[in-house]
């Protein structure tokens, strides 16, 4: 199938979400409540201090908005799509079509992400920006590099979700896999607590694992916590991780489709 | 009513048998869910390790709050979450009509034919963390304190089950209500932190319209002898009354929705 067909999958996914408007309002409200809660938690943690470990409260407010709803998007849909397709046997339909299933998933879920970004994340960020205040990027360089890190972050989380989802070919359930990935991400990605507040040995260890490229490094770059040399170096390491995860996903897909047995007619 | 209750053990037995057919998947799910909560609690513990306390709550007190939150939620949600989350699908497909013509109360049938033993992982983690936390906090435990703690736990579980029932019942009128769970879980996440760190409007919401402040904060603060915003000395009574009150409102809402159910399936 021509590569031009894949953007159409993304567009279809985007448009399909327009049907469920109540879900948008509910999700936006839920996210808004959670963001204000996170801001309250950091305000309470700082307890009036101007800065802690060189980090100010406005920086943590900005970090909260970037690290969680923007960068740590809801990956469970990827797992349930793959898990559901394996359980129902629908995955066989994708094998019959002239499409590459992981690429189809990539384009579809990019459509879902774009929808959530436009309808939920951006309005929530604007409300937080006008009420509490958000910081601009530390510099033009850091602002531009943030977009490169954002791309690496999105693709890394997608590859991790896809890898876990494909394991459903062996386990026949995606439910546990989602919870395993949530456990890993909540501790290692920096979405809940940034690495700069962790004990040094843990921060050093987590800083080399690919999960930190999902939330921590993009947010740290935006806030200017990495100098230009470190920014380029960590982008390179992130790309290596992304390459490894993508290769693992493709290898797992190649293995999974050869062991597929669909029961029923 | 007695006929409805007599069928409960049979419904539960059948459901547990079906779940036990996939024992490996079930045990893996228990482990994965407990691990996920443990990871989040570890992140909170690391935050407290760096900052010392959160709104005046030290780690041992936070551990009691987190374990109470998880245990009360699990007990209430095992009776309600998946059952009432899936009700919208039953309404949409028209299969809810089959529930209505059964010779048992629809609520009892729905709740006990899907009694979720999947929360065992949550409960094991919560009880373990609570057992550690009660030995660490500065509470002079007496029979009366322990009784209050247990009763407030039951009341908190009732709040969870009542809210889930109300959200699920709404699907009988609106056809869709799953999105309301997003709002529930937004407030549910807040309920695991001390209420005093949030702005006053949010505190009011958490004690009235979205009464998840009673899920953990109010009973644990009363047990620890900490001040409860807005409620003050009424907190003890309010935490015990919240469950029965929520259940009464939930029952009224359920009946209203059942009376106004017209079906959406073909």
Q: How wide is the angle at C-alpha A17 spanned by C-alphas A20 and A179, nearest 5°?
A: 95
Q: How far apart are CA B232 and CA B218, in angstroms?
A: 10
Question: How confident is residue B25, by pLDDT bands cut at 50, 70 and 90?
Answer: confident
Q: What pLDDT digit, counting tens, does each position of A216-256 carry?
A: 999 999 999 999 999 999 999 999 999 999 999 999 988 98
- Inform me whether the pLDDT recorded for B265 exceeds 80: no
Q: What's the CA gap between B186 and B205, in Å, rounded?
A: 12
Residue B250 has pLDDT above 90, yes or no: yes
In degrees, rounded to 5, the angle at the alpha carbon of residue B64 between the alpha carbons of residues B61 and B69 is 130
Q: How confident is the model at residue B54 (pLDDT cuts 50, 70, 90)?
A: very high
User: d(Cα B215, Cα B65) in Å, to the nearest integer?
Assistant: 10
Q: What percent of chain B has pLDDT over 90?
A: 73
pLDDT of residue A198: 93
What are the chain B neighbours of A193 within 8 Å (beta carbons)?
43, 46-47
Q: Which of A22, A32, A186 sits opposite B39 (nearest CB)?
A: A186
- Supply B16's token pair: 């547990």
pLDDT tens, position by position, B71-95: 999 999 999 999 999 998 898 888 9
What 3-state class would DSSP assign to B211? Answer: coil
Residue A263 has pLDDT above 70, yes or no: no
pLDDT, one tens digit per residue, over A9-46 is: 888 888 888 877 777 888 888 888 888 888 999 999 99
The predicted structure's pLDDT at residue B61 = 97
User: Residue B114 has what pLDDT?
Assistant: 87
**What pLDDT was estimated at residue A256?**
86
pLDDT of residue A236: 97
| A31, A40, A176: residue with CB nearest B32 | A176
Q: Which of A20, A176, A187 sits opposite B28 (nearest CB)?
A: A176
Q: What is the DSSP string of B83-134?
A: HHHTHHHHHHHTTHHHHHTSSS-HHHHHHHTT--GGGHHHHHHHHHHHHHHH
Q: Identify the band that residue A257 occupies on the pLDDT scale cut at 50, 70 and 90.
A: confident
Q: Nearest Cβ partner of A186 from B28, B40, B47?
A: B40
A122-147 pLDDT per residue, tens: 888 899 899 988 999 999 999 999 99
Cα–Cα distance measured from residue B14 to residue B36, given in angstroms and rounded to the nearest whole number: 29
Chain B residues 110-129 with CB within 8 Å of chain A = none
Q: Tokens for A154?
A: 């999105």
For B134-173, what is each residue's pLDDT tens digit? 999 999 999 999 999 999 999 999 999 999 999 999 999 8
Handedness of CA A120, A122, A123, A124 (dihedral sign): positive
B193·A175 Cβ contact <8 A? no
Beta-carbon separation of A44 and B38 below 8 A: no
Nearest-CA distance B198 → chain A (Å): 6
The conformation of residue B195, written as its DSSP 8-state character, comes to: G
**Smallest Cβ distance to A26: which of B29, B50, B182?**
B182
Best CA proximity match to A191, nearest among A227, A217, A170, A165? A217
User: Which pLDDT does position B266 carry in this prediction?
Assistant: 53
Nearest partner of A111 among A210, A2, A8, judged by Cα: A8
Q: Which of A151-155, A162-166, A170-174, B120-124 shows the lowest mean pLDDT across its residues?
A: A170-174
Using the Cβ of A232 and the Cβ atoms of chain B, whether some distance falls under 8 Å is answered with no
DSSP E strands in chain A: the ranges are 51-52, 55-56
Mark which residues 30-49 of B lie under 8 Å from A by CB: 31-33, 35-36, 38-40, 42-44, 46-47, 49
Q: Is A27 on the interface with B (CB under 8 A)?
A: yes
Instruction: Specify the higher pLDDT residue, B52 or A95.
Output: B52
Note whether B23 contacts A: Cβ–Cβ < 8 A: no
- CB-CB under 8 Å, B25 with A171: yes
Decide if A182 and B197 are in contact by the 8 Å CB cutoff.
no
Average pLDDT, chain B: 92
Tell me what the mean pLDDT of segment B224-232 comes to. Answer: 95
pLDDT of B175: 82
A&B contacts, CB < 8 Å: 116
Q: Give the closest-approach CA distance of B35 to chain A in angstroms.
A: 6
Whether A209 shows a pLDDT value over 90: the answer reads: yes
* pLDDT value, residue B256: 95
| Distance from C-alpha of A145 to C-alpha of A149, rounded to nearest angstrom | 6
Three-state secondary structure of B147-181: HHHHHHHHHHHHHHHHHHHHHHHHHHHHCCCCCHH
Helix (H) or strand (E) holding A59, with range, is helix A57-65
Interface pTM, i.e. ipTM = 0.89
């Amino acid at each position: 199938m021509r590569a031009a067909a894949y953007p159409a999958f993304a567009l279809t996914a985007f448009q399909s979400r327009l049907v469920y408007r109540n879900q948008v309002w509910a999700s936006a409200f839920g996210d808004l409540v959670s963001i204000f809660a996170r801001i309250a938690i950091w305000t309470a943690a700082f307890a009036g201090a101007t800065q802690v470990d060189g980090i100010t409260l406005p920086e943590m407010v900005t970090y909260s908005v970037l690290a969680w709803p923007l960068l740590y998007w809801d990956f469970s849909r990827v797992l349930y799509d793959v898990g559901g397709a394996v359980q129902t046997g629908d995955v066989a339909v994708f094998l019959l079509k002239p499409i590459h299933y992981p690429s189809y998933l990539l384009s579809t879920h990019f459509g879902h992400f774009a929808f959530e970004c436009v309808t939920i994340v951006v309005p929530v960020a604007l409300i937080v920006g006008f009420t509490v205040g958000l910081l601009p990027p530390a510099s033009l360089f850091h602002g531009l590099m943030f977009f490169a890190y954002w791309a690496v972050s999105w693709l890394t989380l997608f590859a991790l979700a896809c890898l876990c989802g494909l394991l459903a070919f062996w386990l026949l359930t995606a439910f546990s896999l989602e919870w395993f990935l949530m456990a890993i991400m909540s501790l290692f990605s920096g979405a809940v607590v940034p690495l700069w507040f962790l004990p040094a040995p843990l921060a050093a260890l987590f800083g080399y694992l690919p999960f930190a490229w999902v939330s921590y490094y993009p947010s740290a770059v935006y806030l200017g916590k990495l100098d230009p040399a470190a920014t380029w170096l960590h982008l390179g390491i992130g790309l290596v991780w992304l390459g490894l995860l993508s290769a693992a996903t493709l290898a797992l897909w190649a293995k999974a489709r050869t062991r597929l047995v669909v029961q029923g007619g | 009513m007695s006929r409805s209750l007599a069928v409960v053990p049979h419904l539960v037995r059948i459901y547990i048998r079906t779940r036990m057919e996939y024992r490996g998947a079930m045990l893996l799910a228990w482990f994965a869910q407990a691990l996920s909560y443990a990871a989040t609690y570890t992140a909170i513990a690391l935050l407290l390790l760096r900052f010392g306390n959160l709104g005046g709550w030290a780690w041992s007190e936070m551990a009691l709050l987190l374990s109470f939150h998880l245990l009360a939620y699990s007990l209430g949600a095992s009776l309600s979450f998946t059952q009432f989350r899936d009700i919208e699908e039953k309404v949409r497909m028209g299969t809810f009509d089959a529930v209505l013509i059964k010779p048992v109360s629809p609520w009892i049938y729905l709740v006990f034919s899907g009694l979720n033993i999947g929360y065992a992982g949550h409960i094991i983690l919560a009880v373990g963390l609570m057992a550690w936390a009660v030995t660490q906090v500065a509470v002079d435990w007496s029979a009366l304190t322990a009784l209050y703690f247990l009763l407030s736990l039951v009341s908190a579980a009732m709040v969870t089950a009542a809210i889930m029932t109300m959200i699920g019942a709404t699907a009988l009128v609106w056809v869709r209500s799953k999105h309301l769970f997003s709002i529930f879980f937004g407030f549910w996440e807040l309920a695991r932190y001390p209420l005093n760190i949030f702005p006053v409007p949010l505190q009011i919401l958490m004690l009235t319209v979205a009464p998840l402040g009673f899920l953990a904060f109010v009973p644990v603060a009363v047990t620890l002898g900490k001040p409860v915003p807005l409620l003050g000395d009424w907190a003890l009574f309010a935490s015990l009354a919240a469950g029965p009150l929520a259940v009464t409102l939930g029952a009224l809402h359920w009946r209203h929705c059942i009376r106004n159910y017209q079906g959406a399936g073909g």
